[in-house]
Amino acid sequence: MTEKLQKIADEISKWDDEHEPLAQEILDAYKFIYRLLDPEGFGFAVSAEVRDAARVVVGLEPVEQNLYKTKDE
């Protein structure tokens, strides 16, 4: 688990039990986003643009723009 995902997990673990289903959905969404970046997950199945969008969601810099942006952009 990455540091950011662990921080999110730690924060939502403080929520009341009535919010547990929502907390689990949030964690599942973040885990899915990280799978988009993982070569052993969906990393090779999605485009560089999708991986960069996933990076932005989890607070990382996009690093593959040269694979999908034209020189004019």
Interval 49-68: pLDDT, tens: 999 999 999 888 999 988 88
Residue 27 φ/ψ, nearest 5 degrees: -60, -40
Which amino acid is it at 15? W
- Residues composing the chain: 73
Write down the pTM of the prediction.
0.74
The owner of tokens 């959905």 is: 25
| Residue 48 reports pLDDT greater than 60 | yes
Query: Domains of the chain: which residue ranges?
Result: 3-11+19-67
